[in-house]
Structure 1
């Protein structure tokens, strides 16, 4: 009898689900049970009402397992997730209350119904009339569909019963009316639009109709404004607001009820600026406030001390000034207080913390902030995490009373860590500790490091290698004064298997050969031993590191050939062996994952192997200052990564996951661009083959790399012309072809490279007129050593310009003045010469001819006699 009364799926609901399935690609068969012959209430992810048989829940999130080590540029593996179109035909399920398709891989939203009738075109902002009734939907989660592009949220506004909306990670770059849509949801309790590329936060709007909202997460967007006041006035009649114009209607009443029910407000990682408004202190129910990583200025408002319910207050990484308000110490429920990386001043003492009995996480540090704690003070709290910056003199004594502490960060401090034995013993309880840019000045050769993550960079640590336990996952000893051999660290036997993933000991004074004990460290993903004094050959045992992605051995004294065993490192992304004494030929067996290959300043010889053209992911190819010869391969256009123009933002690295926390480690490669060395955080598309013995012409295929940003072929024996195809390299910022044997004219297409800021064509056999263009006329140093070049910026006038100058030179007012000045100069010069010639012509004749002299003096005598007689007669 029970079997005969069993309720089956509603046929209308089943047809709606089948229409949805048509637009979905299902690579792993998640929807394989969605078949017409089966009861849809038994389909995967579908739940029905036990009485009516109507579909009430769709729960199909994609579960992805994240490996312990994740590369930045590697997305979660979603090859098994649902993809394709997400059709809003699901909104026709009248009794649907729960909808979760989070963490899938949908690409677009289909706004129109796929049934016999069509709903209005929601993409134009119209509200649907024929798409069914979805007034029962309470929960909607499409978060972490990172490639899902949504043009507007107008379709959300009709879900009048919605209480939970999470679109975090969905792309909404063109949505300017998002607030208008979500404020039409009177029952909304939680709204998450994190990392959605939103730009409009309605800075001039004063009210928003969120009468029930408790959680608002707008972190990680592109808001550029001061904090809008509607966040405070989260309640009003929506009919009085014109959101499309970002202004208030004149009929707006003077007062509205403010329930101030908001409990969580996340606005971190935006571009918000101006002072933090004091009205935030009136959000009486607020428990979590995160305004970190913005550009807020001014003091921390006193009003925040009124938030008696506040649990987490995060204001770090802003531009806040002034003292830490005393009344923050009255927030008895506070568990997290983070105000580091600001410009705070004044004194911090036990007075600020003594009432915070529930404090678990504390972060503080500004250059002008002074710590003044009583050395006998014992806090009423036990911290799990603490971050201190700019500590002077001594570390606070109460720090060593924190027996529950697991995470410790001390940065930019001149405090004494002595006695060091006490500090290192205290550190054994920590899971993670980060000491960066301090003045520890201690010998760590006898120290046992046992934390999972040990970060000891730029502290002037001395002595030999420390000992590490098998629990250590990441070890950074970068930029210290460590010396001696690396062997004690790697070759001392361990009782248990090593878990070390990250090893960074660059910029120290290490000496000796590179140990051959790498077989016991197969978990390593990142090795940096650059800028030391290590010598010898690269050991073959490094080839056993099958997980290795980043290997930096630059600026040491290694010699010999690159061992073929590195061929086993199939996952290698970055190989930096620059500035050593390595020899032999360029390795041609590298795995296809390589993104950066730097071999500059070694003794490599022979040709550039054509096998390198198989490295489609290669972005940095730096073989400068070697002894390479022969032609440049004509297959470099196979570097497909160099076809894209977003390389300057291509950040590489990896994230090490732990059960309680994760650590992201940025990697990259040092590049010589525009005559200077750049940091290693980002990768640029760069080819540098300078200072070799390469010959022949440059293959045209190299000009097909449209994303190339820097090209340096200088100091070789290359010949031929520079083709017009060089204008295809629209992203080029620097080009150096100097000291070769290039001939012909400079192509006009070079003047169209608008990003070009460094150009060097000097010491070639180029001829003709230099094309006009801002990029090409900045300095004549780019063209010296080309005797047949002419035109600006060179002083040499081209023959065609000189002829036109003489024939058709235009007359300007300035030129007319110059011409007049020139005429007057010649006139006065002629007068002077004429006077001199006339004078010496007459006077010289008188002096040299006797008869002329007698006639002349007789004439003078008569003139004088005549003048004397006239004067006598007058008187």
Structure 2
């Protein structure tokens, strides 16, 4: 593809210089095809060919999401490159030092899922124009100068490490090297970081704006050294093993907007932690996440935190406080799993800016009435689940001021009548009212479910009546759980267009013909056990090849085991116990080599036990005849 190819600009992923016709951009990311069931890529495999060297003016090269296995040394000869994306290939081996010859490079992405190695990073020092650099799955344990190279780099602004391994750092080796003047974003996540490097990375640049050390299992105290990073706006230490308390220097970060210490082992009194954040950070902090730590004490006053919009934390004790006095502008309140006592205060209804409210699993009791919710017109997510002594008492004529997307009220007291105010909620994607003491018939209006539905759980109540056969189509493939109720009647066809369908332990009847679709199904989990279904098991399982679990046990079925079950090659669990089946076990089931459980007991099967059960089903754990 040289200058002689005057039509190269018409090729997808190729851009040329309008004057010379030379290729300046080459995008070889695989084409994406979507057949309605899955998204497929068409990656390129093999070696990266040296013919790339013929593209003398190439400045943009994207080879990401392919199957190349080695970064060739000649890549360092493409000296006009300013953009190089080699991410998500199958690269292994040592990163070639020749990449340091790409002195014009601004963007370099080496984020790969396979293990690469780096003996040293001296080549990085020669990329004097580089602004953004990403590493993934790289072993730096022999690269003793990695931190020195980064701190002394003249232009690097954004640096990402993911699934990387680092050696111990000698602080004296950095004594003569100034902090970086350019680095503003540092992400070091899902990696193995030696504790000796932690305090040194906190002061790697005086111009840091964003710092992310999430998912590192880092066992350390948090150094009180944030005075060296006055411009920090976002700090993420999610899911580590950080110990001790929150250092005072964090409270002196006058630009701090988001602070996430969730899922660590921080300790101490909450009042002390909040006091340490009460410097000038109190005027800028918008999002504070303290959840899953070991702080103790009651929820302190956040009155000085005038900008706080999102609050997350647990291990709070005492009565649920009147947050509307000092956090009236809060948009997200996540206090699930705390140790509060008593009722949810009516004053929660004064927090008119709330979008997300989570007070799940905190042993609340008493009532929630219209007074708690009347002013929450912006609310989109409500989670009051797992408060078994909390009752929701809302008038049947109540008109909610909000349209909820996420509703979780499982394991609360909603019954005995069905909550009719849900008729006004027409836009939800998630609804869970399982284990909620409801004994009622669901009226037809409820089943006109939103097309955006992803999750519906009505299980473990005493719902009765039938499910109407509505012409429903979902934009996604939702999961629907109706188990342990008193539903009856046949199954409507729209319930076959799902990812998970659990109708077990009801009184559904009729045939299983709804499973015979014209198009291939995405159904992954099917449990129709303990019902009153009759007739034969339909022989149309080739349209349900994605199933991993099939449970039809304890029904009034009859006939033979259909041959087409052998086309469900990803099947891991097949339960056909007590379904009056006869005949032999079809040989086609030997194709289901992923089977871990096979139960055909309490039937009328005949013939010999096939030898392929022991030969082909190597994953089998439970076999029941």
1:279 counterpart residue number: 200
Structure 2 CA distance for aligned equivalents of residues 161 and 561 of structure 1: 68
Structure 1 CA distance for aligned equivalents of residues 371 and 537 of structure 2: 52
Residues 290 and 479 of structure 1: CA distance in aligned 2, closer, same or farther (over 3 Å) = same
1:322 counterpart residue number: 244
Question: Residue 389 of structure 1: SS of its match in structure 2?
Answer: coil
Residue 159 of structure 1 is aligned with which of 78, 83, 102? 102
Residue 525 (1) aligns with residue 429 (2): yes
Asked if 1 retains the 8 angstrom alpha-carbon contact of 2:365 and 2:390, the reply is no
Residue 334 of structure 2 is aligned with which of 381, 403, 409? 409
Count residues in correspondence: 599
2:611 counterpart residue number: 748
2:33 counterpart residue number: none
Structure 1 CA distance for aligned equivalents of residues 348 and 578 of structure 2: 54
Question: Residue 279 of structure 1: SS of its match in structure 2?
Answer: helix
Residue 413 of structure 2 is aligned with which of 506, 509, 523? 509
1:669 counterpart residue number: none
Note the aligned Cα RMSD (angstroms). Answer: 4.5
1:429 counterpart residue number: 353
Structure 2 CA distance for aligned equivalents of residues 547 and 419 of structure 1: 31
Give CA-to-partner distance per residue, 1:331-387, whole Å, 9 cap, x none.
555443332321122334254123243541333255542358986x96376333332
- 1:392-791 matches, within 5 Å, as 392-393=317-318, 400-402=325-327, 404-415=329-340, 420-425=345-350, 427-449=351-373, 467=374, 471-480=378-387, 481=389, 483=391, 488=396, 492-493=398-399, 499-511=403-415, 514=418, 520-532=424-436, 533-540=438-445, 542-543=447-448, 545-565=450-470, 567=472, 573-587=478-492, 589-590=493-494, 593-609=497-513, 611-614=515-518, 615-642=520-547, 685-723=548-586, 725-752=588-615, 753-761=617-625
Residue 205 (1) aligns with residue 143 (2): yes
Give CA-to-partner distance per residue, 1:780-838, whole Å, 9 cap, x none.
xxxxxxxxxxxxxxxxxxxxxxxxxxxxxxxxxxxxxxxxxxxxxxxxxxxxxxxxxxx
1:138 counterpart residue number: 82
Structure 1 CA distance for aligned equivalents of residues 284 and 342 of structure 2: 24
Residue 336 (1) aligns with residue 258 (2): yes
Structure 2 CA distance for aligned equivalents of residues 602 and 420 of structure 1: 38
Give CA-to-partner distance per residue, 1:397-417, whole Å, 9 cap, x none.
998434554333223323468
Residue 364 of structure 1 is aligned with which of 281, 287, 290? 290
Structure 2 CA distance for aligned equivalents of residues 760 and 634 of structure 1: 23
Structure 2 CA distance for aligned equivalents of residues 477 and 315 of structure 1: 27
Q: What TM-score do you get using the length of structure 1 for normalisation?
A: 0.58
Question: Residue 616 of structure 1: SS of its match in structure 2?
Answer: coil
How far does residue 559 in structure 1 lie from its aligned partner after superposition? 2.8
Structure 2 CA distance for aligned equivalents of residues 161 and 367 of structure 1: 46
Structure 2 CA distance for aligned equivalents of residues 291 and 363 of structure 1: 15
1:66 counterpart residue number: none
1:347 counterpart residue number: 269
1:149 counterpart residue number: 89
2:311 counterpart residue number: 386
Residue 264 (1) aligns with residue 185 (2): yes
Structure 2 CA distance for aligned equivalents of residues 499 and 468 of structure 1: 13
Question: Residue 428 of structure 1: SS of its match in structure 2?
Answer: coil
Asked if 1 retains the 8 angstrom alpha-carbon contact of 2:505 and 2:530, the reply is yes
How far does residue 747 in structure 1 lie from its aligned partner after superposition? 3.1
Residues 256 and 537 of structure 1: CA distance in aligned 2, closer, same or farther (over 3 Å) = closer
Residues 16 and 312 of structure 1: CA distance in aligned 2, closer, same or farther (over 3 Å) = farther
Structure 2 CA distance for aligned equivalents of residues 493 and 260 of structure 1: 57
- 1:51-62 matches, within 5 Å, as none
Structure 1 CA distance for aligned equivalents of residues 317 and 227 of structure 2: 28
When structure 1 is superposed on structure 2, of 316-325 and 567-576 the one drifting more is 567-576
Question: Residue 183 of structure 1: SS of its match in structure 2?
Answer: helix
How far does residue 585 in structure 1 lie from its aligned partner after superposition? 2.6
How far does residue 263 in structure 1 lie from its aligned partner after superposition? 3.6
Structure 2 CA distance for aligned equivalents of residues 398 and 513 of structure 1: 32
1:456 counterpart residue number: none
Residues 84 and 272 of structure 1: CA distance in aligned 2, closer, same or farther (over 3 Å) = same
Asked if 2 retains the 8 angstrom alpha-carbon contact of 1:387 and 1:408, the reply is yes
1:214 counterpart residue number: 156
Question: Residue 629 of structure 1: SS of its match in structure 2?
Answer: strand
Asked if 1 retains the 8 angstrom alpha-carbon contact of 2:490 and 2:508, the reply is yes
Structure 2 unmatched ranges of 5 or more: 30-36
Asked if 1 retains the 8 angstrom alpha-carbon contact of 2:267 and 2:294, the reply is yes
Asked if 2 retains the 8 angstrom alpha-carbon contact of 1:569 and 1:591, the reply is no
Residues 232 and 14 of structure 1: CA distance in aligned 2, closer, same or farther (over 3 Å) = farther
Asked if 2 retains the 8 angstrom alpha-carbon contact of 1:513 and 1:534, the reply is yes
Q: What TM-score do you get using the length of structure 2 for normalisation?
A: 0.79
Question: Residue 74 of structure 2: SS of its match in structure 1?
Answer: coil
Residues 634 and 419 of structure 1: CA distance in aligned 2, closer, same or farther (over 3 Å) = closer
Residues 212 and 232 of structure 1: CA distance in aligned 2, closer, same or farther (over 3 Å) = farther
Higher helix share: 1
Structure 1 unmatched ranges of 5 or more: 1-11, 26-30, 42-47, 63-72, 112-121, 236-254, 450-466, 643-684, 762-875
Asked if 1 retains the 8 angstrom alpha-carbon contact of 2:584 and 2:605, the reply is yes
Asked if 2 retains the 8 angstrom alpha-carbon contact of 1:390 and 1:411, the reply is no
Question: Residue 697 of structure 1: SS of its match in structure 2?
Answer: coil
How far does residue 718 in structure 1 lie from its aligned partner after superposition? 1.8
Structure 1 CA distance for aligned equivalents of residues 49 and 72 of structure 2: 16
Structure 2 CA distance for aligned equivalents of residues 507 and 710 of structure 1: 29
